[in-house]
Amino acid sequence: MKGAAVEITALDRFKRTPVDRSYPDFSRSFYSPIDDVHGALKLLIKSAQHSVILSMYGYDDDEFAALIAAHLRNKSMYCQVSLDRSQAGGVHERELLAKYRAEMESNSVAIGTSERGAINHRKMLIIDGLWVIGGSTNWSVSGETKQANELTVTKNAVVAAEARHVLDLTHSAMLTQMAARAASVAPKGRTTRTVKTRSKTVTP
């Protein structure tokens, strides 16, 4: 799946009230349950053409998981997903991860904690090295439509580059954690299976 490029003004229809003409031309903010947060996120995820870098705490939206899986299957797109280990252990989250496991094993997907062993609470998405989506919104129906959450969209390559560096550091730490966990449970004398990602080879 390869999306079509969008302009930031295309997001204006997801605001409940008209966007003031003095609003910054590189940023939009959305507030659930007032605005259509789900619609704005869906448009942005579908627009990806080159890369998707995701760091998420709550990963519980079937539609978004399917869209990310489609990007994961796209051999011309780089996908990097970092999920919090405590949240990924939930029933629905486990079902989603199992459903898209084949796609995830051919990309760089990591499940773990922060570099210092705490939760990965970042809810961030970087698209095509240009769009940065952040805020308090978890990927769940409740988080997008019922809870009082905020979603900020910034279209700026410099902001995206800074965010990418931060997300890469956490992702690398998670890959190391996964390798250590696998090594600790591997039977003695048995060679563990390795998984090749687009960035490196890790032991799941």
Structure tokens at 53: 């870098």
Helix (H, G, I), strand (E, B) or coil at 189: coil
Q: What is the dihedral of CA 174, 179, 185, 188, to 10 degrees?
A: -170
Mean pLDDT along residues 45-57: 96
Q: Please give the angle made by the CA atoms of 118, 101 and 114, to the nearest 5 degrees.
A: 10
pLDDT confidence of residue 102: 65
Which of 119-133, 167-181, 182-196 shows the lowest mean pLDDT across its residues?
182-196
Which of 63-72, 82-91, 125-134 shows the lowest mean pLDDT across its residues?
82-91
Mean pLDDT along residues 88-117: 82
Q: Which residue has the higher pLDDT, 99 or 129?
A: 129
* Domain ranges for the chain: 8-202
Nearest to 26 by CA among 132, 126, 123, 124: 132
pTM, two decimals, is 0.85
Whether 159 and 39 have beta carbons less than 8 Å apart is answered as no
| Residues 117-162: tens digit of each pLDDT | 999 999 999 999 999 999 999 999 999 999 999 999 999 999 999 9
Tell me the pLDDT of the chain averaged across its residues: 88
pLDDT confidence of residue 45: 98
When pLDDT is cut at 50, 70 and 90, the band that residue 99 belongs to is confident
pLDDT confidence of residue 196: 45
When pLDDT is cut at 50, 70 and 90, the band that residue 108 belongs to is confident
Distances (CA, A) of 75 to 50, 72, 127, 165, 175: 10, 8, 16, 23, 21
Q: What is the dihedral of CA 165, 175, 152, 6, to 10 degrees?
A: 80
- Highest mean pLDDT (candidates 28-32, 63-67, 82-86): 28-32
Superfamily of domain 8-202: Endonuclease Chain A (3.30.870.10)
Residue 46 scores a pLDDT above 90: yes
